[in-house]
């Protein structure tokens, strides 16, 4: 036995809670075969190998290249599955174990050392060493990692990254990582293959020392030097064990050294925290790429936030506008006198008069003003032009109630209404059709052959659905009823209610009042009068803001989709780039769900970052609109929460496929990935 290396080496810590039964032999292979199909050839990497390895042994496996050494090692370490034969670890048949149990066993029974070290380049030496702890549920304990590093002779390299360490130092760190979970056994695949001879000697001394402390060592090597120091030497050729030479008896195993079986617990908060931390690290390591992949989410979330803020702003603006336009208007129309919804006889309808209107204004406290209205068609003529239009008769109160102050000229007066004066206001469509756009005020027109003087032009109303609201001639109510249309009843009564809050109460009161006034029997009350809000104005404005919302929502939807695809893309690239890392993580005990969680956490980190920037962008857009359109923007916490929720879901939704792919990678294939 050579002297132990110079580094101080504390005793191997005792395993807590290990079962007292000590199965010997520790590893047992029986007739294990593994074949690879290469086109038409099949290569027997392992050909019916039987082998027992007991605890405390130091086994060197030697043989020419391609003789099956690595395959044997991978089968022993549960990284690869044989085609046939039996393999027992601690007396337990591993072929029957579930995937998660295999991960648990890999984590707790074995420590792996690879020729290429397989340290993760972004992590420091201590973080690399602590990695297996992430999967054993003990939490990343850097102090313990530093202890392990000291034990392998690297007490002053905790915070170095792998590229700041020599090959020998990297391999020492890798051995420290293999030791961190206090494994029963270290499996080393050509651990000195990439090292100079001085480093090789150090690593060999370290392995011997660990073996002296009771840890079983299995090492695949080309170095006769290592073979010469082993307690037992196996030589392989063509997938078979050629010779099996025992040089020294196995060391006394460390007490309580039986393989523990546990699948480990569920995902732990500490683990998730660590994944998020690593996700952020990855993000800052690939800034440009991450920023580009965030772009879609950023725009999408920005659009969502802007949409909600503007929607609310528009709503508020609309309410303010409606207050001046008269959102507190009700329209009372006559209805039919039905019994149980069936008209009793043809023409059994209620009727409304100007007296009803006056009574409503007087008797209902909520009613501030009334405008009984009649409508009809009329033939308007001016000089040689003819235009068939709507004739509407209203009292002067209409001007205020319907915000109909003329843009040119004036409205008619109470006196003119009473005198049945022949004065008229015209809508813009009539101005265009009869006057060719010239100012009509002062001109004389005929409506149904009655002379009228035009005294004003009505403000533009635009179309509401199929009806052009500017195609109208407005005349005093009395004039319309008695001089043009010949009606004794009004078609409907506009009622202005004092406050929006009182609308509902007013509706009830007006209906009851009218039913009583016209003595409608209880059986005919349903539908005898119809009362409506001024839904036309409301719907027109709602329509506008809805158009805007639909536009923004479609931008949002498309951007979020594109953003999601961007994230999926970047995650797929990341999975491919880090295939070896995934293999390594699996080798040190990560279960599928751990890998899944890690990559999901990363994609969520990307999408949430995009979402946060998107919220800022959306806020900016809303402020800009607010300034341009003069709207009060109203950013709500719900909108921010919704946007945040959107980004998280996109991250999960689109990150799932790449993460699932990563989690399903086969450990040894991932480790072999170039």
Which residue's CB is nearer to ligand ADP, number 36 or number 273? 36
Phi and psi at residue 481, to the nearest 5°? -65, -45
Q: Please, what is the minimum distance in Å from the beta carbon of residue 581 to ligand ADP?
A: 19
Number of residues lying near ligand ADP (CB under 6 A): 12
Longest CA–CA separation in the chain, Å? 131
Q: Please, what is the minimum distance in Å from the beta carbon of residue 578 to ligand ADP?
A: 20
Q: Please, what is the minimum distance in Å from the beta carbon of residue 50 to ligand ADP?
A: 17
Q: Please, what is the minimum distance in Å from the beta carbon of residue 129 to ligand ADP?
A: 26
Task: Measure CA of the first residue to CA of the last residue in the chain; give whole Å.
Answer: 38
Which residue's CB is nearer to ligand ADP, number 72 or number 600? 72
SS (H, E, C) 124-190: CHHHHHHHHHHHHCCCCCHHHHHHHHHHCCCCCCCCCCHHHCCHHHHHHHHHHHHHCCCCCEEEEEC
Q: Please, what is the minimum distance in Å from the beta carbon of residue 130 to ligand ADP?
A: 30
Which residue's CB is nearer to ligand ADP, number 66 or number 139? 66
Which residue's CB is nearer to ligand ADP, number 25 or number 66? 66
Measured between alpha carbons, how far is residue 529 from residues 339, 369, 645, 655 in Å?
14, 19, 48, 59
Q: Tokens at residue 536, please?
A: 């036309």
CA–CA separation, 356 vs 123, rounded Å? 86
Rounded to 5°, angle at Cα 93 from 87 and 94: 75
- Which is it for strands 216-220 and 185-189: parallel, antiparallel or unpaired? parallel
Phi and psi at residue 447, to the nearest 5°? -120, 120
Q: Please, what is the minimum distance in Å from the beta carbon of residue 60 to ligand ADP?
A: 13
> 167-179 and 142-151 are packed helices; what angle lies between their axes, rounded to 10 degrees?
120
Q: Please, what is the minimum distance in Å from the beta carbon of residue 65 to ligand ADP?
A: 4
Q: Please, what is the minimum distance in Å from the beta carbon of residue 41 to ligand ADP?
A: 10
Which residue's CB is nearer to ligand ADP, number 45 or number 49? 45
Which residue's CB is nearer to ligand ADP, number 43 or number 81? 43
Query: Under rule CB under 6 A, which residues in 376-395 are in contact with ligand ADP?
Result: none
Which residue's CB is nearer to ligand ADP, number 66 or number 256? 66
| Contact map string, positions 1 to 40, toward ligand ADP, x by CB under 6 A | -----------------------------------x-x--
Q: Please, what is the minimum distance in Å from the beta carbon of residue 84 to ligand ADP?
A: 16
Of 120, 107, 118, which Cα lies nearest the Cα of 79?
Answer: 107
Which residue's CB is nearer to ligand ADP, number 92 or number 222? 222
> 535-577 and 592-629 are packed helices; what angle lies between their axes, rounded to 10 degrees?
140
CB 498 within 8 A of CB 366: yes
Query: Under rule CB under 6 A, which residues in 34-93 are in contact with ligand ADP?
Result: 36, 38, 43, 45, 63, 65-71
Which residue's CB is nearer to ligand ADP, number 577 or number 669? 669
CA–CA separation, 585 vs 94, rounded Å? 20
Query: Under rule CB under 6 A, which residues in 291-320 are in contact with ligand ADP?
Result: none
Which residue's CB is nearer to ligand ADP, number 38 or number 342? 38
Instruction: Provide the H-helix boundaries in 524-636.
Output: 535-577, 579-587, 592-629
| Contact map string, positions 442 to 481, toward ligand ADP, x by CB under 6 A | ----------------------------------------
CB 412 within 8 A of CB 454: no
By CB neighbour count within 10 A (0-12 exposed, 13-18 middle, 19+ buried), where does 584 fall? buried
Q: Does 235 bind ligand ADP (CB under 6 A)?
A: no
Residues of the shown chain interacting with ligand ADP in the complex, contacts defined by CB under 6 A:
36, 38, 43, 45, 63, 65-71
């Amino acid at each position: 036995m050579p002297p132990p290396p110079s580094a101080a080496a504390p005793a191997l810590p005792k395993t807590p809670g290990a079962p007292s039964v000590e199965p010997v032999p520790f590893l047992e292979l029986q007739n294990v075969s593994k074949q690879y199909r290469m086109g038409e050839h099949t290569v027997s990497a392992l050909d019916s190998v039987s082998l027992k390895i007991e605890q405390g042994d130091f086994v060197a496996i030697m043989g020419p290249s391609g003789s099956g050494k690595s395959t044997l090692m991978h089968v022993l370490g549960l990284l690869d599955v044989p085609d046939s034969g039996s393999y027992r670890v601690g007396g337990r048949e591993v072929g029957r174990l579930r995937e998660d149990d295999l991960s648990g066993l890999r984590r707790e029974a074995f420590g792996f050392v690879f020729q290429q070290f397989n340290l993760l380049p972004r992590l420091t030496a201590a973080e690399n060493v602590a990695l297996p702890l992430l999967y054993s549920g003990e939490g990343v304990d850097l102090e313990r990692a530093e202890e392990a590093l000291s034990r392998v002779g690297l007490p002053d390299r905790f915070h170095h990254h792998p590229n700041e360490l020599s090959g020998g130092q990297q391999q020492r760190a890798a051995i420290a990582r293999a030791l961190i979970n206090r494994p029963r056994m270290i499996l080393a695949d050509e651990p000195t293959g990439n090292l100079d001879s001085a480093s090789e000697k150090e690593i060999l001394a370290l392995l011997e020392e660990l073996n002296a402390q009771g840890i079983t060592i299995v090492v695949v090597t080309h170095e006769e030097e290592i073979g010469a120091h082993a307690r037992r030497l196996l030589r392989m050729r063509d997938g078979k064990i050629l010779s099996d030479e025992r040089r020294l008896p196995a060391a006394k195993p460390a007490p309580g050294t039986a393989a523990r079986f546990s699948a480990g617990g569920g995902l732990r908060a500490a683990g998730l925290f660590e994944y998020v931390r690593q996700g952020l690290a990855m993000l800052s390591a690939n800034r440009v790429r991450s920023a580009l992949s965030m772009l879609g989410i950023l725009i999408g979330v920005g659009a969502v936030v802007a949409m909600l803020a503007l929607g609310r702003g528009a709503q508020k603006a609309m309410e303010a506008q409606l207050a001046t336009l008269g959102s507190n208007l009700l329209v009372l129309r006559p209805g039919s006198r039905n019994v149980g919804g069936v008209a009793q006889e043809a023409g059994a309808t209620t009727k409304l008069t100007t007296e009803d209107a006056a009574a409503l204004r007087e008797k209902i406290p909520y009613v501030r003003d009334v405008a009984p209205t009649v409508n009809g068609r009329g033939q308007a003529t001016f000089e040689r032009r003819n235009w068939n239009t709507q004739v509407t008769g209203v009292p002067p109160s209409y001007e205020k109630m319907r915000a109909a102050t003329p843009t040119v000229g004036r409205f008619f007066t109470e006196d003119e209404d009473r005198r049945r004066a022949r004065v008229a206001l015209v809508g813009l469509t009539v101005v265009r059709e009869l006057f060719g756009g010239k100012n009509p005020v002062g001109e004389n027109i005929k409506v149904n052959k009655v002379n009228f003087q035009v005294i004003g032009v009505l403000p533009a109303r635009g179309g509401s659905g199929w009806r052009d609201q500017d195609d109208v001639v407005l005349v005093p109510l009395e004039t319309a009823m008695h001089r043009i249309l010949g009606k004794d009843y009004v078609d409907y009564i506009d009622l202005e209610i004092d406050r929006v809050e009182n609308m509902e109460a007013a509706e009830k009161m007006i209906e009851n009042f009218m039913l009583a006034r016209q003595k409608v029997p209880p059986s005919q009350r349903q539908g005898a009068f119809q009362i409506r809000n001024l839904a036309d104005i409301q719907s027109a404005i709602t329509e506008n803001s809805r158009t805007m919302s639909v536009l923004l929502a479609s931008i949002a939807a498309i951007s979020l989709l594109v953003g999601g695809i961007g994230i999926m893309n970047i995650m797929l690239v990341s999975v491919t780039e880090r295939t070896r890392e995934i293999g390594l993580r699996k080798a040190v005990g990560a279960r599928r769900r751990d890998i899944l969680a890690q990559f999901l956490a990363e994609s969520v980190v990307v999408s949430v970052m995009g979402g946060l920037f998107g919220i800022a962008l959306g806020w900016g857009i809303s402020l800009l609109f607010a300034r341009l359109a003069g709207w009060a923007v109203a950013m709500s916490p719900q909108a921010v929460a919704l946007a945040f929720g959107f980004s998280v879901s996109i991250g999960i939704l689109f990150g799932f496929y790449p993460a699932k792919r990563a989690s399903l990678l086969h450990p040894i294939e991932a480790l072999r990935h170039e």
